[in-house]
A and B are shown apart, each in its own frame.
Chain A
């Protein structure tokens, strides 16, 4: 029996005849259809569920995108605000601004170093009164950022700044209501009386 005629006329009936007798059809062939339907339902249901979940996820993500966008906008706005405030703060804490304010209030620098040693109350160095000092240091170390920022004395309308500057106000006590000076906070190294 050659293979050629068999190929030229493929007849399923004839083919069957060649199957050796020992091979039998699988016995559970009839039982298969039922499980197959269940599988199909599961598979289709699964696909549907996945598709639905996908859809819901996608909707949620899209919704989130708008939320993120909103937050990003407000973040940008807040960071702009933060920058404005930081710039204002930097302006008023620059040494030029502090010095100008101090001078406007009638303060003069005293570079003479003198120390009070707390442990025994000893005065180290030789005290000397501040001698004039710089009247207007603003122009000496310029800062264009603080131009136009009002000094503390200019902000308080009605109150007069001490005139004269240059330590003129040092001798005369400023017309403040007499307030008893608060006792200095006691530190560890302050001299303390020995009590028993």
Chain B
């Protein structure tokens, strides 16, 4: 006592040091726990107290048509699984009326066979099949605790299963995709896989717009009844809903066009057919039919090759419909007008050594440019076309949108092939490109080129998507800006010539739409076999627009190898029916004055 009091300073110092050390220790420990190991400890604590991460589904966005009709939406489906181990072991007791005393109930044990039969009846299996699943799983692994009974069952089935309340059966939510209108626009929509990945079509091409993002939450539940303790929910990741994709397609028209196309495809025994309907003034696609068409609800029901949209992905040699492009180019540079004259032979030996014929025999004929189109004469078109340089013609093709993918950017879309360019064209190709052979185009490119002719020479970007509205309500639309391809006068003159093709051509009776002025051109093209030769079948087509005096709608029909009717007579009725339907549906006022009459010969 004395000693200490004799050295008070030391005692204070010692106490001070101990105090500082102690506090330091605590501070260090505090920092260690609160800062250094904070996240690890938090995690540990969460693991013990809170639920396993719960997925909050972010819905994939809808695809709607121009009127808002839903073409694709997200629905909840359920995967049903059972525990084979527990199915074997556990007993299910059920309250049933006591036969001895109807006013009371008694506990009755339900045999496994009965439970299995009840379960099977709901998911569409027999009781034996359910028992088979259990038995085979247990044979593989006696401790097996998990086996799927059914996948992607609908809400009704789920509700019935829940009502059955079998303790060893569990259902997991599984977001899925549904296409209420079936095959209507199935070629465009594409489909998604069972795991929700976009596999084809717009589902794939516009995935950035449509895809939602699943979130994740945990909460601390009450011990007994699994009720969330208020304020304990932790959002680990916010769920995000996908955007709504609006198309320029009109689903009613799309259905009708698909119906007409498929009926004709079956009637003429064709491999496939495409029909494109486009607004002449905006370049918006109203209907794009590709038959056969996939039903996206059941993609595997359709042949693999038929699941896409050939309108965008299958380039072909267009044939005579391309003559309108050559004629329009000639008009625009001022080399020819509808009444320009040539004398066309049946078989033409060109100055550069190329040789080709017309599809029908004729003596040397004094054709006007109009007549060359009406009779679809290759030689006459060539005698006009050779007056223009190859380079200039090639540039017009490019301006019309050929040789590159359209603005739609459909998944797997092909650009077509202009056979390289003028410097790569051989002597024969220099001529055949005038009448649509030796180069390939897609159906949508042909429709777009006719749109340019119909729209006073201004080509509008091809539009399939009206816009994407994200979850916050903001809409993004593709930029629309037209480019002038040919002058107004050239477009008007070409239009008048095509009207005469419609009124004077050999199909005039078959594609007549009373009351309307129509401009159209047929094509019967040889189909390349991929090895430098041609197949025996033809690709027959019609492209045109109406009303010709104030064009509103472009319709382009292509039918591949109609074995029962191997000429453009197979495509003309489709053109006539589709165009009639379009004009009727959009209440287009019939034309007043008749079409001008231009001479085919001189």
Residues of A within 8 A of B (CB): 7-8, 61-62, 64-66, 68-69, 80-81, 83-84, 87, 90-91, 93-96, 99, 109, 111-115, 124-126, 128, 134, 137, 140-146
> Which residues of B60-101 are within 8 A (CB) of A?
70, 75-76
Q: Shortest distance in angstroms between A124's beta carbon and chain B's nearest beta carbon?
A: 5
In the complex, the answer to whether B229 meets A115 with C-beta atoms within 8 Å is: no
Contacting A115 at CB < 8 Å: which of B156, B295, B297, B590?
B590
**Can you report 15 residue pairs joining A to B where beta carbons are below 8 Å apart?**
A61-B231, A80-B155, A84-B154, A90-B70, A113-B583, A113-B590, A124-B590, A125-B515, A140-B259, A140-B263, A141-B183, A141-B259, A143-B297, A144-B297, A146-B182
Contacting B580 at CB < 8 Å: which of A99, A113, A142?
A113
* A68 CA / B219 CA spacing, docked (Å): 14
* A83 CA / B176 CA spacing, docked (Å): 12
The interface residues of chain A lying within 8 Å CB-to-CB of B596 are none
* A37 CA / B214 CA spacing, docked (Å): 60
The interface residues of chain A lying within 8 Å CB-to-CB of B158 are 80
The interface residues of chain B lying within 8 Å CB-to-CB of A8 are 5, 8
Q: Using CB atoms, name the residue of chain A closest to B512.
A: A126
Q: Using CB atoms, name the residue of chain A closest to B295.
A: A142
Q: Shortest distance in angstroms between A58's beta carbon and chain B's nearest beta carbon?
A: 9
Q: Shortest distance in angstroms between B241's beta carbon and chain A's nearest beta carbon?
A: 14
The interface residues of chain A lying within 8 Å CB-to-CB of B184 are 94-96, 141, 143
B298 at the interface (CB under 8 A from A): yes
In the complex, the answer to whether A87 meets B75 with C-beta atoms within 8 Å is: yes
In the complex, the answer to whether A113 meets B182 with C-beta atoms within 8 Å is: no
Map CB proximity to A onto B245-275 as digits: 1 under 8 Å, 0 otherwise: 0000001100110110011001000000000
In the complex, the answer to whether A7 meets B8 with C-beta atoms within 8 Å is: yes
Given contacts A69-B228, A95-B252, A115-B587, contact A126 B70 (CB under 8 A): no
The interface residues of chain A lying within 8 Å CB-to-CB of B577 are 111
* A94 CA / B581 CA spacing, docked (Å): 19
* A152 CA / B181 CA spacing, docked (Å): 18
B589 at the interface (CB under 8 A from A): yes
In the complex, the answer to whether A134 meets B515 with C-beta atoms within 8 Å is: no
B230 at the interface (CB under 8 A from A): yes
In the complex, the answer to whether A141 meets B228 with C-beta atoms within 8 Å is: no
Total chain B interface residues with beta-carbon distance under 8 A: 50
B473 at the interface (CB under 8 A from A): no
In the complex, the answer to whether B255 meets A96 with C-beta atoms within 8 Å is: yes
* A8 CA / B8 CA spacing, docked (Å): 7
B513 at the interface (CB under 8 A from A): yes
Given contacts A65-B227, A125-B514, contact A141 B588 (CB under 8 A): no
* A96 CA / B589 CA spacing, docked (Å): 29
The interface residues of chain A lying within 8 Å CB-to-CB of B263 are 134, 137, 140
B584 at the interface (CB under 8 A from A): yes
B180 at the interface (CB under 8 A from A): yes
Task: List the 9 closest pairs (A to B, CB-CB), nearest first.
Answer: A143-B182, A90-B180, A126-B514, A113-B584, A125-B515, A95-B255, A140-B262, A111-B580, A124-B590
The interface residues of chain A lying within 8 Å CB-to-CB of B584 are 111-113
* A84 CA / B515 CA spacing, docked (Å): 47
In the complex, the answer to whether B259 meets A134 with C-beta atoms within 8 Å is: yes
The interface residues of chain B lying within 8 Å CB-to-CB of A109 are 256
Q: Using CB atoms, name the residue of chain A closest to B513.
A: A113
* A8 CA / B262 CA spacing, docked (Å): 113
* A176 CA / B365 CA spacing, docked (Å): 64
In the complex, the answer to whether A141 meets B252 with C-beta atoms within 8 Å is: no
* A21 CA / B263 CA spacing, docked (Å): 121
* A91 CA / B29 CA spacing, docked (Å): 66
The interface residues of chain A lying within 8 Å CB-to-CB of B156 are 84
Q: Using CB atoms, name the residue of chain B closest to A79.
A: B76
In the complex, the answer to whether B154 meets A113 with C-beta atoms within 8 Å is: no
B293 at the interface (CB under 8 A from A): yes
* A128 CA / B5 CA spacing, docked (Å): 127
B474 at the interface (CB under 8 A from A): no
In the complex, the answer to whether B154 meets A87 with C-beta atoms within 8 Å is: yes
The interface residues of chain A lying within 8 Å CB-to-CB of B516 are 113, 125
B301 at the interface (CB under 8 A from A): yes
Map CB proximity to A onto B1-45 as digits: 1 under 8 Å, 0 otherwise: 000010010000000000000000000000000000000000000
* A81 CA / B263 CA spacing, docked (Å): 38
Q: Using CB atoms, name the residue of chain A closest to B582.
A: A113
Given contacts A90-B70, A137-B259, A140-B262, contact A113 B588 (CB under 8 A): yes
Q: Using CB atoms, name the residue of chain A closest to B302.
A: A142
* A96 CA / B156 CA spacing, docked (Å): 23
In the complex, the answer to whether B514 meets A94 with C-beta atoms within 8 Å is: no
The interface residues of chain A lying within 8 Å CB-to-CB of B178 are 87, 90, 145
Q: Using CB atoms, name the residue of chain A closest to B581.
A: A111
In the complex, the answer to whether B182 meets A124 with C-beta atoms within 8 Å is: no
Given contacts A94-B182, A125-B514, contact A61 B230 (CB under 8 A): yes
In the complex, the answer to whether A64 meets B181 with C-beta atoms within 8 Å is: no
In the complex, the answer to whether A145 meets B180 with C-beta atoms within 8 Å is: yes
Q: Using CB atoms, name the residue of chain A closest to B576.
A: A111
* A195 CA / B180 CA spacing, docked (Å): 53
Q: Shortest distance in angstroms between B150's beta carbon and chain A's nearest beta carbon?
A: 17
Give the one of B158, B182, B252, B293 with max A CB within 10 A.
B182
The interface residues of chain A lying within 8 Å CB-to-CB of B8 are 7-8
Q: Using CB atoms, name the residue of chain B closest to A88.
A: B156
Contacting B183 at CB < 8 Å: which of A7, A65, A125, A143?
A143
B159 at the interface (CB under 8 A from A): yes
The interface residues of chain B lying within 8 Å CB-to-CB of A64 are 230
Q: Using CB atoms, name the residue of chain B closest to A7.
A: B8
> Which residues of B201-253 are within 8 A (CB) of A?
222, 227-231, 251-252
Contacting A65 at CB < 8 Å: which of B75, B180, B230, B293?
B230
Give 10 new A-B contacts, CB below 8 A, not counting A8-B8, A112-B580, A113-B513.
Answer: A65-B230, A87-B178, A94-B181, A111-B580, A113-B516, A113-B583, A128-B514, A140-B262, A141-B293, A142-B182
The interface residues of chain A lying within 8 Å CB-to-CB of B229 are 62, 65
* A68 CA / B232 CA spacing, docked (Å): 14
The interface residues of chain B lying within 8 Å CB-to-CB of A80 are 76, 155, 158-159
Q: Shortest distance in angstroms between A62's beta carbon and chain B's nearest beta carbon?
A: 7
* A8 CA / B584 CA spacing, docked (Å): 115
In the complex, the answer to whether A144 meets B182 with C-beta atoms within 8 Å is: yes
The interface residues of chain A lying within 8 Å CB-to-CB of B252 are 95
In the complex, the answer to whether A96 meets B580 with C-beta atoms within 8 Å is: no
Q: Using CB atoms, name the residue of chain B closest to A94.
A: B181
Q: Shortest distance in angstroms between B247's beta carbon and chain A's nearest beta carbon?
A: 15
The interface residues of chain A lying within 8 Å CB-to-CB of B293 are 141-142
In the complex, the answer to whether A140 meets B181 with C-beta atoms within 8 Å is: no
